[in-house]
Amino acid sequence: MTHDSEKYWYNLKTGEVEKGFESPAPDRAGPFDTPEEAAKAPEVIRERARAWAAEEAREDSWGSDAVSGAPRDDQ
């Protein structure tokens, strides 16, 4: 098992890929197994944020008509 200090991180402030704990934790995303994976961190973060937002929207609209906000007849 590889320790996180030996993995790759994406620095959110600089946009650089780093190996190990070069930057403070709030400034990095990861860990990733390869530098190529770390370089794709912004894409991964955007996709996960979209998925979470869609899930939240589904949960928020559960039990109501998605268009009018009125309760559905089948409830």
**1 to each of 31, 56, 59, how far by Cα in Å?**
13, 35, 37
pLDDT band per the 50, 70, 90 thresholds, residue 4 = confident
pLDDT given at position 25: 96
Q: What are the residues whose beta carbons fall under 8 Å from the beta carbon of 22, sequence distance 6 or more?
A: 9, 11
pLDDT at res. 63: 74
Global pTM value: 0.68
- Give residue-wise pLDDT tens across range 28-41: 999 999 999 999 99
**pLDDT category, 73, cuts 50, 70, 90?**
low
